[in-house]
Amino acid sequence: MRKICAALLAALLLCGCGKAAKTPMEESTVPTETVPAWTAAPDGDPNDVTCKGSYTGQGNEQTVIAVVGDRTLTNAQLAAWYWAAAAQYRQSGECDDLDYDVPLDVQSCGVDDTVASWQQYFLRQALNAWHTAAALNEQSLNVPLGTEEAYQPADYLYEEYMDGMPATKYLYGYDPYYSPNSMHQAYLDGLDDTLNTLAQGKGCADAAALARQAFGTDTQSLTQMAEELNRAYMYFTQLTYDLTQEETEEEISGEYYVNFRHILLKTEGTSAEEALTAFQEKAAARTKSLTGQEKQRESVFADLAHWYSEDTASAVDGGSYLRVLKDQLPEEIGEWCFAPERQPGDTTQIVSGDGVHILYFSGKEAVSQVEQAEIAQQDAQLALIREAKEAYPMEVTYSDIVLPEAEALVSSDELLYPDIAHERFPEIPLYLQQDYPTTMYGGWPIRTNGCGITSMAMVASYLADELLTPPEMCRRYGNYSHRNGTDGMIYFKESPAMGFYLIEQTYEPTTAWRGLEDGHVVISVQHKGYWTSGGHYIVIQEITEDGNVRVRDSNIYNYRRVSNHALDEHTWTSITSAGSGFWIFDDKITRLPACSRCGDPEEASGGLVEDYYCRKCAPAQLRRGNYLESLR
């Protein structure tokens, strides 16, 4: 018997995740605890976790114990959900009376009087978590995503021009149902590697050892659980993007946040006057095509901050700081921002030991209003989950449930997609002018005169990472429309207002090619030739492996007329032979150095605030927290 026990202990330690062996001194001095004899009495209720007093034991791991729509849950899969729920509670530190070294079915639950044991408590959470994920995933496959009323594609045109084209993978509304974007899909495809990395961080040899020790199940069941958990979260993320809130203008009283933009001009080796003069010369050259009134716009300040500010913590985002409290700022800057008379559009210059600070005041928000808005957003997000679960109810056979013993090492939070780059559009979406037959662009129909604004919509959706469809862009920027199409100044003047920036406008194809080589997106205006019989704007996304270019073309009729659309790549000659102008845009902003979540404030010089969350991480944190809450 001793030889058998020694062999089992050695095998456990070799596979990783085993508990450290006690020294002889520890064995002699630490008293042996007696496992309580108490076990919850079963009440036989077939519709509740109290059906059985204990679920620990031997049973068929492949027995289906729950159903939601077309999805089923086996005992082996339930084990992963169960121990993830236990680990989530353990990591929260909510209960000091729970001993995870003692079987959970023999410990009375003191936080929920509708269950007897902690095992029943976590089982209910596990089933609820699976129901949440299963219902969301079922809904994603059966309920179409919403589109705006102006989106009215013609089926016969799609059948003739778009079916079979590679670009339909990115075509807005072509597939009415949800599918993960490429970034999300890459995460799902890499779950095996993710679990292996997580296992090693927990002291396990690999994912198989982690599945056995931390969840009492097999690798396949753990991977299935992680995929279901994450795909549902990704779909939930998609749904939350389209939640809107009513904007209220109330008088601000009490504590409030300020929003402002910041340009830092460092004065190392120079004076403040010299630094300011050099900046003013650059600014004058950058804005020479703008009117005096246009130069006063916040978007112009953002553009100058993006290109010339030495506050590397915020320059990439146009020097923007949102929802900042007074005690987060240096004293002199805080005094100016929080002065009672401060109004949107106010600017100032402040000289400090760091250099010259040029500030633009964007506005203020009451802390109470922000909190109320977050509560409303939380309610709306949880309502999405509740409605999905009501539409797809869960059926459970409690009498067939069997749970293994394991260790609560890995929580649901640790298995969930980190959602740091928070990209809605990892690639440029494709919009077609003809999908909006009733939309007007200024005084002309978008279907005939809207290639320029539709190209802007594609680039804006990608670079701003918001759903900025052609009708929305027409509503905002109809004044750039004329009989021959679009005034190209829109690409310089309006990009900063949406959070992305034009590097330069050029007539030199070699300059545009270098921009593509550097990974930048380019818009090109084409004259009569390969692309058009008149004039036409196109978006050039990237250089392909074959040395050609990939294009987003807003004209549906080109997808049969331009034969290379079937390959989704075109020669550079086809672009330059009739191209007369190119607009090169700077990189997409996916991380903000100043942000405590997605950036690295310690390595970013000039940052003004601490414990700062950027405009994308703040809602991402709220969304993630709401999803995890729904799993309980």
Q: Using alpha carbons, select from 313, 337, 316 the residue that is nearest to residue 325.
A: 337
Contacts of 27 (CB under 8 A, 6+ apart): none
Q: Which pLDDT does position 611 carry in this prediction?
A: 85
Is residue 595 predicted with pLDDT exceeding 70?
Answer: yes
Phi, psi values for residue 232, rounded to 5°? -65, -40
For the four alpha carbons of 218, 220, 223 and 228, in that order, the dihedral sign comes to negative
């009215």: which residue's tokens?
152
Q: Cα(first)–Cα(last) distance of the chain, in Å?
A: 43
Contacts of 328 (CB under 8 A, 6+ apart): 334, 608, 609, 610, 611, 612
> CA 435, 501, 461: angle at the middle one, nearest 5?
25
Q: Which pLDDT does position 5 carry in this prediction?
A: 40
CB atoms inside a 10 Å sphere around CB 581? 17
Is residue 228 predicted with pLDDT exceeding 80?
Answer: yes
Radius of gyration of the chain from its Cα atoms, rounded to whole angstroms: 29
| Residue 240: both structure tokens together | 């939350």
Q: Which pLDDT does position 25 carry in this prediction?
A: 32
Is residue 4 predicted with pLDDT exceeding 50?
Answer: no
HEC readout, 393-422:
CEEECHHHCCECCCCCCCCHHHHCCCCCCC
- % of the chain exceeding 90 in pLDDT: 83
Q: Which pLDDT does position 45 carry in this prediction?
A: 85
When pLDDT is averaged across residues 167-186 and rounded to a whole number, the result is 95
């791991």: which residue's tokens?
61
Question: Mean pLDDT of all residues in the chain?
Answer: 91
Q: Which pLDDT does position 247 carry in this prediction?
A: 61
Q: Which pLDDT does position 36 carry in this prediction?
A: 52
Q: What would the pLDDT profile of 513-572 be if each residue is shown by its tens digit?
A: 999 999 999 999 999 999 998 899 999 999 999 999 999 999 999 999 999 999 999 999
Q: Which pLDDT does position 540 carry in this prediction?
A: 98
Instruction: Tell me the C-alpha distance between 503 and 459, whole Å.
Output: 14
Q: Which pLDDT does position 118 carry in this prediction?
A: 95
| Residue 500: both structure tokens together | 């992305």
**Where in 495-610 does DSSP place strands (E)?**
502-506, 522-527, 535-543, 549-552, 579-585
Q: Which pLDDT does position 484 carry in this prediction?
A: 85
Q: Using alpha carbons, select from 590, 237, 628, 230 the residue that is nearest to residue 417.
A: 230
Q: Which pLDDT does position 246 carry in this prediction?
A: 64
Q: What would the pLDDT profile of 196-221 be if each residue is shown by its tens digit?
A: 999 999 999 999 999 999 999 999 99
Q: Which pLDDT does position 356 carry in this prediction?
A: 97
| Burial grade of 411 (CB within 10 A; 0-12, 13-18, 19 or more) | buried
- % of the chain exceeding 70 in pLDDT: 93
Q: Which pLDDT does position 9 carry in this prediction?
A: 35
HEC readout, 426-447:
CCCCECCHHHCCCCEECCEEHH
When pLDDT is averaged across residues 599-604 and rounded to a whole number, the result is 82
